[in-house]
Structure 1
């Protein structure tokens, strides 16, 4: 991986760490390119079943960035967060479950990056904010579209219009985060969530995520009538056979992700 992030895989779990603490883990073009490489590897590697996104240092998860200049060398504009947000360039869809471990400031693009996760664990010092109107900068509006979908309407509008922040406890109360823990337990808790997901059939998990998110904005009748290719493909997988055998034998399943 390029500089700006740390990347490691352990027991089917990928750990992606934003590693520019002196810059509040704000995302520059080099870091953006490294994140794109990380998500691409996670998507393509069948031995990676879950990902955890964290950051170095206690002060900030990510203070956002301006990466509209793109990545040197290939001439293309990449979206903030390596394509995960779809802001400033093409969106990259992460097929594997993603857990965000958020501490300190998660503002602007950093808040948006956290909202791209399937599960958010927050340290008790976390703060979430949309500062655009407060500082007089309005560019891409992705963070606003995500906030209005993930928070109660009036809470999201208050954040957008005032530029003020909410803390971890408020975020939990509004359903934005799954769990709030002391900073010292943040990564341990995020890893516990990852372990719980990794104990399930990885192909079933991926198929479920695809089905839910691909029809999240559609009417229920259309969602119910849709045929989902990953679910249909799972019917002929080794994991489905193993799941049935493990249930019959009353033992823990030994998933292969294939």
Structure 2
């Protein structure tokens, strides 16, 4: 059985972590498969949005597989390079929606935080079990957690392995939406539809500018030039946006 399943439907690519018997823990095979999936998604101009899910009902992802741990490869880090820990960070250019449920632990928690939008089922529990288990290696999740959560909430997870349920995650802004488990697919589709109504090249350019700008001061971010934004003015979609505005109609995006 493949460790992940990659499917493309229209302008949407879905990546399914597919080791439900192991709570979708990431082993070296899955790590390499994820790298290949991100490569295909970013390399296909007809893919405008990516969705990341976990198979089964018990867990989105229980972290790294201790028995066969991911090692990183080709200079990339864990999670196919998205996490940036243990190697080079790969920023996915396309918007990424992550659907989480059940256990979201360690490396799985980190992988979810790499997404642009997180939709959580009401049975979701985020956790960092490293301190309680007495195991730590790289542990890049702490750097994202302390940036995406209130300081003391993150520190309780880091030093005391305190878990965080979906309701509190929503209150702290870690996730965009909390829904009943049986409504997770519907909620994710609603976010996909919202993104698909937007100009795909604008979404990609704005994402790049936002993330690159976080690496510097506000003054530096405001003064910088961003490649994808500069290139957008020469695209078919930019011209279509102007025509649609003048004709008072909904634009028809091509992603070109």
2-side partners of 1:233 and 1:155: how far apart?
41
* Contact 1:5–1:17 (CA under 8 A) maintained in structure 2: yes
Equivalent residue in structure 1 for 2:196, among 195, 198, 202: 198
Question: Structure 2: how far apart are the matches of 1:185 and 1:25?
Answer: 21
Normalised by the length of structure 1, the TM-score is: 0.95
Q: What aligned pairs does 1:1-258 form with structure 2 within 5 A after superposition?
A: 3-66=2-65, 67-70=69-72, 76=74, 78-258=76-256
Asked whether the 8 Å contact 1:103–1:183 carries over to 2, the reply is yes
Segments of 5+ residues of structure 1 without an aligned counterpart are none
Q: How far has the Cα of 1:256 moved from its partner?
A: 0.7
Deviations 1:153-188 (A, max 9, x none): 111111111012110001000110000001111122
- Rounded to whole Å, the distance in 2 between the matches of 1:15 and 1:98 is 10
Cα RMSD after superposing both structures:
1.4
State TM-score, norm by structure 2: 0.95
What secondary structure, in the 3-state scheme, does the structure 2 residue paired with 1:82 have?
helix
3-state SS, counterpart of residue 52 of structure 1: strand
Q: How many residues align?
A: 253
Give 5+ residue unaligned stretches, structure 2.
none
- How many angstroms apart in 2 are the aligned matches of 1:24 and 1:147? 21
The CA distance in 1 between the partners of 2:78 and 2:127, in whole Å, is: 17
- Structure 1 outlier segments of 4+, above 3 Å: 66-71
CA contact (8 A) 1:68 1:77 kept: no
Distance of 1:122 and 1:61 partners within structure 2: 10
SS of equivalent to 2:131: helix
Report the CA distance shift for 1:247/1:239 in structure 2 as closer, same or farther (over 3 A): same
